[in-house]
Amino acid sequence: MTISDDTGSLYVYGTYSSDGKLRYSELEDKPYAGDEVFLSGLLKNFKGQAELSSAWIIEFKHAEEEFDESSYTKMTVAEARNAKKDTKIILEGVVAKITYANGMIPSGFYLVDSTSSIYVYDSQVTPRVEIGNKVKLAGVKDLWILETEVSNASKFGYEGCCQLSKAHLLENDGKKNAYDKSWIEKTTVKKIMDTPVSENITTLIYKVDALVKKAEGTGFVNYYFDDIDGVTGAYAYTQCNGSDFKWLDEFDGKICTVYLSAINAKSSASGCSWRFFPIEVIDEGYTFDKADAPKFAVNYYALGQFDKNYTGDPKKELITSVTQELIDVKDIKLEYTSSDTNVISFDVEEDKLIMHTHNEGTAKITIKATYLTYEYSVTIDVEYKEVVIPDTITVKEAIEANALDGGTEVVVRGIVGPSLVNRVGFYLIDETGVIAVTTSAETLASLALGNEVILKGTRTLFGHEGNYYGQSVLLDCELILNFYGSHDYSTATFDDTKTLEDLLAMDVSEDHTTQVYVIEVKVKLVESQHFSNIYINSPTSDKQIILYCSSANQYNWLKKYAGENGELGETITIEIALCNWNKKSPFRGCILAVLGENGEKEVNTLNFAK
């Protein structure tokens, strides 16, 4: 807290009960903003500023709150959700769940009535309520977005977290009431994830069947809620490194009934994605109804293979059988028929079912699933349209385009190569060169490694400043055409004449980020409680290069090549590009692939959904 009087103000770091035994968060009654407080503590100098440390609250007096209720309008929660921002509202409802900020400080709560749910963000009111309390409060309708994410959110139509702020607690019955669930819609995690971020679903509670998964990181724990396919889902939003969700541990690995809410969306240059908040989890011994197996196979596996429109022949291998051990179903058969094989056909080639496009038009594609005696089918329209191929340049010509003064817009044709790490994108490769590409998450989700594409983006430098040349990139690329296919990317321009020592010696004031090198290295993994890093080391010296990543978990596929307990692994051959997204010296590295025997290659596919 900060305390002030007529002479100035003073920051207080840590407060306790009058005997020093209880922390502020543990006090039944405690001072809030505006109250008069008498403290005893140690006066310290922290970075040149005086502050009171570990203060005991000797006594306090609650301020008489001046509040004009007449300027607020009483509404149901559903009405409040649809009210305009800055509307002054009075609500009555039951506290369903409390959220916590860093240090497990209560920061807000979900309020539920018989019509809907909404989040109340107020660190002064929240400590005065408990789950089950029926409360009456006044507040201001808000749509909250983290200030640094506002511009990105606006690009994708995300308006923010639907909530009430600047709250005043008017009444509290102090009892344990059950919140009303009669209005809550039964849906799926997949349907929530597929809902556009432009729709106002934040802080709305849904009922789903979800797989609860605990994932321990370095110094934090994430909890995921996945659909019954085991992969479609998102993580729970935490400001306490996961400690606020320890109550979920007993459900780890189980499919449960979950009352779940998308509390907000993470907004970045590449897109927005929902983040979850669990209200309640109930282990009811979930069993999957086998009669739903065909519908499950169609909705979760078959439909996602098709785009609505094609501009080239996808030559796509289709799934003909689905097995999902998580729900104990095996060998659900899938069949596909086309109403017009002159437009779209399904052909068996080398024991694989391949989809082809032929002539312009629209075909009705029927997908039929069969499991035991159960069947389910859907029909969708798929269009094939031939388009005029625009003039393009090679990757080498894109690299040579002016990257300074805002860069140059270019249209480039090439092959979708290995993934970038810690960036939404990949390496675009042709016979003439290699360059990093960033794009939207939506575009990236439509691409697969090996697709031949035409992209339009800005050839520029990322992080160009002072002595740092920066990262060469085709920034914010738009997909113009996808010719599909599963092409091997060209290695014609890759350099196999260098060593790791040579790469370390390269000058960051020059551009070395558009070259891929083939070198021999040893992998080292370093993990501690609060961070993890992964390195490549020289086989002949103690020199090493750190790989660019937020944590070593982004290189999980590489960890098997590392030694135990921070030791070096065996010597391997890799394809690596130097990168400099964040003005570092020497360059960081991004591994494209590990090369095996007989031309085999394990490629970095981190960002690819397909």
Could you tell me the domains of the chain? 2-61 (no CATH), 69-172 (2.40.50.200), 185-282 (2.40.50), 290-384 (2.60.40), 395-484 (2.40.50.200), 500-603 (2.40.50)
**What is the rounded distance in angstroms from the CA atom of residue 87 to the CA atom of residue 275?**
26
Tokens of 485: 């296919």
Q: Taken in order 540, 543, 548, 554, is the CA torsion positive or negative? A: positive
Q: What's the confidence (pLDDT) of residue 610?
A: 61
Strand, helix or coil at 147? helix
Nearest alpha-carbon partner for 202 in 244, 166, 164, 240 = 164
Are 604 and 594 in contact, with CB atoms under 8 Å apart? no
Q: Where are the alpha helices (DSSP H) in 231-330?
A: 293-297
**CA separation (Å) from 397 to 411, 458, 459?**
10, 13, 10
Beta-strand ranges (E) seen in 113-175 are 117-121, 134-144, 161-172
C-alpha to C-alpha distance for 542 and 578, rounded to whole angstroms: 19
Asked whether 306 and 382 are in contact (CB, 8 A), the reply is: yes
pLDDT digits (tens, 9 = 90+) for 555-575: 999 999 999 888 999 999 999
Report whether 335 contacts 361 (CB < 8 A): no
Secondary structure of residue 446 in the 3-state scheme: coil
Give residues with Cβ within 8 angstroms of 433, minimum separation 6. Answer: 394, 395, 396, 398, 399, 493, 514
Question: Could you give the CA distance from residue 451 to residue 314 in angstroms, rounded to a whole number?
Answer: 9
Please classify residue 538 by burial: count the beta carbons closer than 10 Å to its beta carbon, then call 0-12 exposed, 13-18 middle and 19+ buried: buried
Low-confidence stretches of the chain (pLDDT < 70) are: 65, 269-270, 529-530, 610
Strand-pair category, 73-74 with 88-101 = parallel
